[in-house]
Chain A
Amino acid sequence: MIVNILMSLVAVVVLGAIAFAGGSVPGLQMVFGIWIPYAAAVIFLLGFIWRIFKWAKSPVPFRIPTTCGQQKSLSWIKHNSIDNPTTTKGVILRMFFEIVTFRSLFRNTKSRVIGDRVSYEWEIWLWLAALAFHYSFLTVVIRHMRLFLEPVPACIGIIETLDSFFQVGLPVVFASGLVLLGAALYLFARRVLIPQVKYISMIADYFPLFLIIGIAGTGLYMRYFLRVDIHAIKQLTMGLVTLKATVPPANVSPMLYAHLFLVSALLIYFPFSKLMHMGGVFLSPTRNLANNSRIKRHINPWNPDLEFVTYEKYENEFREKMIEAGLPVEKES
């Protein structure tokens, strides 16, 4: 299983190295700076949509929410309208908490057998790391919009101000980048250190983690150590989003190309991987359906017509015994 880790690591390092080398060659800057990012964006967008529609093509034949609270029944029994919703509003709230606060993961417990007792303790770290990881990633992505929008909208400035709340270092340190790297490293560490999680982990788990660690690492390195020329980089990124892309000046570090290429790799990999949980979580039938199948009939589009043992067949088989036992019958003989 070490093999899985090594192969993922090597793959990411090789990808980064290729782009670093390519970015150092003037002729290839066009490829790594412009064509690959364009291709990646297109593959990501179309792949994502393709995947969602592929899922959507299959119907939801049955209403199978996992109910995590009291159902709606008698008026005087307190109904848990979020964890066991019966209305669209309830479902929206449930999905909101699921997607925005990772509510189910928040429930996480760790169970252990100690002596003759099975004990359960609240295990918050996975939830915390997951939350830190996703929100810092989101913040980093939003902050990067400063490179893709001109003029830079005020809201991005506000996020930057909040993100650099502690005003440490120069250029001022954005917490999100460090948190992203830290959380990704934590998620990697628990994959390796918890034997059960290590046992189930595959290349498909390590590879995207290393990609993200690589992206965060190259990004932080450029900002805080190389101090790349942000002005020149914005010319490249603005060129990309205004469809007038030009290769940036030669003095921009090839590290930029490594960073950009890893991001492109992530975008291309995304629609074909587990990362699609981003879209899939919206389509999970155990969460996005109301538990109202006793109130309103749910339709199965392929509901088959099946022959079953009807009462008539049953009576035909047991008529005499039924008559003898004094049970009412439809036909006397």
Chain B
Amino acid sequence: MKIKPDEMLKINTKPPKAHWMDVPPDFSEGKYLYPAKPKTLEYLHLPNPRDWSPADEDWKLPENWQKIIHDGFKERLDKYRSLKVFMDICVRCGACADKCHFYIGGGDPKNMPVLRAELLRSIYRNDFTIFGKLFGRLAGARKLTPQVIKEWFSYLYQCTECRRCSVFCPYGIDTAEITMMGRELLNLIGVNINWIKDPVSNCSRTGNHLGIQPQNFKEIIEFFCDDIEEITGVKINPSFNRKGAEVLFVTPSGDAFADPGTYTFMGYLMLFEHIGLDYTLSTYASEGGNFGLFTSSDMMKKLNAKMYHEAKRLGVKHIIGGECGHMWRVINQYMDTMNGPADFLEVPKSPITGTVFNSAASTKMIHIAEFTADLIRNNKLKLDPSRNDHLRVTWHDSCNTARAMGLLDEPRYVLNAVCNNVFEMPPSTTREYTFCCGSGSGTNTEEIMEQRLRGGLPRANAVKYVHDKYDVNMLGCVCAIDRAVLPPLMDYWVPGVAVTGLHELVGNALVMDGEIERTLNLRMEDLPGAEGDTDE
């Protein structure tokens, strides 16, 4: 990054003189996401595949694009009460303004949630309200011009749908809901981004966002098992696509692909081996995440359908889901409605502790943190937290698990059982007030690095606070996107802080049956003290 942190911190919060409707969006290099490739859209049967760039003057919109947007807007108003109510009741009190991480880190007034919503509201007023039709701009309405589409594209992808603003809104107006509808509308005219559409098309075809084919998926996991054997001396042979297993385990494919998520995946494998869980992985339902959520409800449904479909085919009793943020938004708030009822599954019951998870009585799917917390509570795991003693850990609540689910204390319980040094960040930045990593909702791509670093500032700054105060050197989280994007964020704002998933820490602390004396952690780094012991 060319801009140094101290320059990045000079944030101009003064709104421009011109009315916001007259300020055009910035499409200089580095300020926009790359559009989806025509091939990808064709594969997904999505409209208007073409070669184009947001930097172009002409976006090659379909001929009747205004009508498509108008009709699409109307359809969504009729389908979603949330949209209709949120379009109507905002009083512009401004309470949401400085709750958005992009606004805090960048100062662009269109990143205030209220103004982001106004981008759509202005069109809504023009097309669907009496005052808007009568008084036009005086009533806050404006005509749908190509510049509006450009503005939508720019700012609807400068929202990570983290819902922090909706915690503070006196009417619970959720910008994520508005952004999701706006993105659906843009999809109708072929204005979409590659970083979302590629994973979506991969996921359709290979079962996961990264396009990992079945044989490679198996190889990757086996590779993890080799590492685990080297570290612990325990040989693990996980099964794939096995019918008759008790549990299907689904986690985001990011954990199979890139560090440090891979270590978290190893943690899952070690845990399941240690407790003797009868489970299987699927190469078909090999994606927990769902970039369909960032496209349209239809796409979300199609990608999510695989989980129940595969669970039914394999005849498992229930599903355990791995650490992922938006995956759990989908599972908690959409899955059962979209693809249920899962009446072919049973209410999840831990085969180890006998605990029945009535909180998932209908979805039949539990979060691994819930599962592990229950194991620890019932003393089913032998843990040596001192193996994590060189770590001083703070906890990042992921937006979706915090504000679209409420998974707050389960991971903390596990964390405190496997680590001795845990420090909380300031309360205005954790739990339901948690800050986004700055790269959620399909925007975790390189071309907009400045936007990501700015959006990640509030989170990083809170980490810096505990880093300075308590020497925190590890940031824990339960989200695959976090694991992918927090490392560069930390390197930029708080060098010296690494990122880990919860079950990597569990894997390190877990004392497995028949294991050798551990000298390495899951990252193949020497455990502190292990070296020293031989010296003495």
Direct contact of A and B (CB under 8 A): yes
Using a CB–CB distance below 8 Å, which chain A residues touch chain B? Answer: 1, 7, 51, 54-64, 66-74, 76-78, 80, 83-84, 86, 98, 102, 104-105, 107-111, 113, 115-118, 120, 126, 130, 194-205, 272-274, 276-277, 280-281, 283-287, 291, 293-300, 302-304, 306-311, 314-315, 317-318, 321-322, 324-328
* Smallest Cβ-Cβ distance to A286: which chain B residue: B172
- Minimum distance in angstroms from A38 CB to a CB of chain B: 22
Asked whether A286 lies within 8 Å of B166 as measured between CB atoms, the reply is: yes
Asked whether B11 lies within 8 Å of A113 as measured between CB atoms, the reply is: yes
* Smallest Cβ-Cβ distance to B282: which chain A residue: A311
* Smallest Cβ-Cβ distance to A324: which chain B residue: B215
B233 at the interface (CB under 8 A from A): no
Interface size classification for chain B: 35 or more
* Smallest Cβ-Cβ distance to A298: which chain B residue: B337
Set of chain A residues within 8 Å of B458, measured between Cβ atoms: 111, 118
B112 at the interface (CB under 8 A from A): yes
A56 to B313, CA, bound (A): 39
Set of chain A residues within 8 Å of B94, measured between Cβ atoms: 126, 194, 196-197, 200
Asked whether B167 lies within 8 Å of A107 as measured between CB atoms, the reply is: yes
Q: What 4 pairs across the A-B complex have the smallest Cβ distances?
A: A71-B406, A280-B89, A325-B215, A286-B172
* Smallest Cβ-Cβ distance to B303: which chain A residue: A308
Set of chain A residues within 8 Å of B303, measured between Cβ atoms: 308
Asked whether A309 lies within 8 Å of B204 as measured between CB atoms, the reply is: yes
Q: Which of B171, B359, B429 contacts A277 (CB 8 A)?
A: B171
1/0 per residue, CB under 8 A from A, across B76-97: the answer is: 0111111111101111111101
B349 at the interface (CB under 8 A from A): no
* Smallest Cβ-Cβ distance to A122: which chain B residue: B428
B130 at the interface (CB under 8 A from A): yes
A254 to B60, CA, bound (A): 62
27 A-B pairs with CB atoms under 8 Å apart are A58-B83, A58-B84, A59-B80, A59-B81, A64-B174, A66-B166, A67-B404, A69-B431, A77-B409, A84-B406, A98-B170, A98-B172, A109-B428, A116-B5, A116-B9, A116-B461, A196-B15, A200-B20, A272-B131, A276-B88, A283-B81, A283-B85, A307-B302, A309-B207, A317-B205, A322-B283, A327-B240
B177 at the interface (CB under 8 A from A): yes
* Smallest Cβ-Cβ distance to A76: which chain B residue: B377
Asked whether B81 lies within 8 Å of A56 as measured between CB atoms, the reply is: yes
A64 to B334, CA, bound (A): 8
Asked whether B93 lies within 8 Å of A130 as measured between CB atoms, the reply is: yes
Asked whether A294 lies within 8 Å of B309 as measured between CB atoms, the reply is: no
Q: Which of B28-36, B253-261, B361-369, B388-396 lies at the interface with chain A?
A: B361-369
Asked whether A285 lies within 8 Å of B82 as measured between CB atoms, the reply is: yes
* Smallest Cβ-Cβ distance to B312: which chain A residue: A311
Set of chain A residues within 8 Å of B118, measured between Cβ atoms: 200
A-B contacts besides A69-B432, A71-B407, 13 pairs, CB < 8 Å? A56-B81, A57-B78, A62-B337, A73-B370, A74-B355, A116-B5, A200-B115, A202-B92, A205-B92, A284-B85, A297-B336, A303-B338, A314-B206
B291 at the interface (CB under 8 A from A): no
Asked whether A104 lies within 8 Å of B374 as measured between CB atoms, the reply is: no
A225 to B15, CA, bound (A): 43
A18 to B222, CA, bound (A): 83
A186 to B432, CA, bound (A): 30
* Smallest Cβ-Cβ distance to B358: which chain A residue: A295
Asked whether B170 lies within 8 Å of A71 as measured between CB atoms, the reply is: no
Asked whether A71 lies within 8 Å of B405 as measured between CB atoms, the reply is: yes
Asked whether B432 lies within 8 Å of A68 as measured between CB atoms, the reply is: yes
- Minimum distance in angstroms from B9 CB to a CB of chain A: 6
Q: Which of B80, B355, B461 contacts A118 (CB 8 A)?
A: B461
A317 to B43, CA, bound (A): 15
Set of chain A residues within 8 Å of B284, measured between Cβ atoms: 311, 314-315
* Smallest Cβ-Cβ distance to A116: which chain B residue: B9
Set of chain A residues within 8 Å of B417, measured between Cβ atoms: none
A308 to B302, CA, bound (A): 5
Asked whether B413 lies within 8 Å of A66 as measured between CB atoms, the reply is: no
Asked whether A55 lies within 8 Å of B81 as measured between CB atoms, the reply is: yes
Asked whether A309 lies within 8 Å of B215 as measured between CB atoms, the reply is: no
A198 to B114, CA, bound (A): 12
Asked whether B97 lies within 8 Å of A308 as measured between CB atoms, the reply is: no
Asked whether B373 lies within 8 Å of A328 as measured between CB atoms, the reply is: no
Asked whether B88 lies within 8 Å of A70 as measured between CB atoms, the reply is: no
- Minimum distance in angstroms from A286 CB to a CB of chain B: 4
Set of chain A residues within 8 Å of B243, measured between Cβ atoms: 328
Set of chain B residues within 8 Å of A195, measured between Cβ atoms: 13-15
Given contacts A74-B374, A116-B9, A200-B94, contact A66 B283 (CB under 8 A): no
Given contacts A76-B377, A294-B332, A294-B363, contact A104 B15 (CB under 8 A): no
Q: Which of B15, B166, B214 contacts A321 (CB 8 A)?
A: B214
Set of chain B residues within 8 Å of A286, measured between Cβ atoms: 82, 166, 172-174, 177
- Minimum distance in angstroms from A127 CB to a CB of chain B: 9
Q: Which of B396-452 contact A (CB under 8 A)?
A: 402-410, 413, 426, 428-429, 431-433
Set of chain B residues within 8 Å of A105, measured between Cβ atoms: 93, 95, 168, 170
B360 at the interface (CB under 8 A from A): yes
Asked whether B177 lies within 8 Å of A64 as measured between CB atoms, the reply is: yes
Asked whether B139 lies within 8 Å of A203 as measured between CB atoms, the reply is: yes
- Minimum distance in angstroms from B239 CB to a CB of chain A: 9
Set of chain A residues within 8 Å of B377, measured between Cβ atoms: 74, 76
* Smallest Cβ-Cβ distance to A277: which chain B residue: B89
A200 to B306, CA, bound (A): 44
Asked whether A284 lies within 8 Å of B171 as measured between CB atoms, the reply is: yes
- Minimum distance in angstroms from A49 CB to a CB of chain B: 15
B387 at the interface (CB under 8 A from A): no
Given contacts A110-B98, A274-B88, A283-B81, contact A204 B93 (CB under 8 A): no
Asked whether A274 lies within 8 Å of B91 as measured between CB atoms, the reply is: yes
Asked whether A104 lies within 8 Å of B337 as measured between CB atoms, the reply is: no
Asked whether A118 lies within 8 Å of B337 as measured between CB atoms, the reply is: no
A62 to B331, CA, bound (A): 12
A310 to B403, CA, bound (A): 32
Set of chain A residues within 8 Å of B405, measured between Cβ atoms: 67, 71, 291
Asked whether A284 lies within 8 Å of B78 as measured between CB atoms, the reply is: no
Q: Which of B131, B337, B359 contacts A73 (CB 8 A)?
A: B359
* Smallest Cβ-Cβ distance to A273: which chain B residue: B131
Asked whether A304 lies within 8 Å of B301 as measured between CB atoms, the reply is: yes
Set of chain B residues within 8 Å of A78, measured between Cβ atoms: 409
Q: Which of A77, A126, A304 contacts B95 (CB 8 A)?
A: A126
Q: Which of B89, B305, B337 contacts A297 (CB 8 A)?
A: B337
Set of chain B residues within 8 Å of A110, measured between Cβ atoms: 98
B147 at the interface (CB under 8 A from A): no
A228 to B189, CA, bound (A): 63
Given contacts A194-B94, A200-B115, contact A280 B88 (CB under 8 A): yes
Asked whether A118 lies within 8 Å of B104 as measured between CB atoms, the reply is: yes
- Minimum distance in angstroms from A56 CB to a CB of chain B: 7
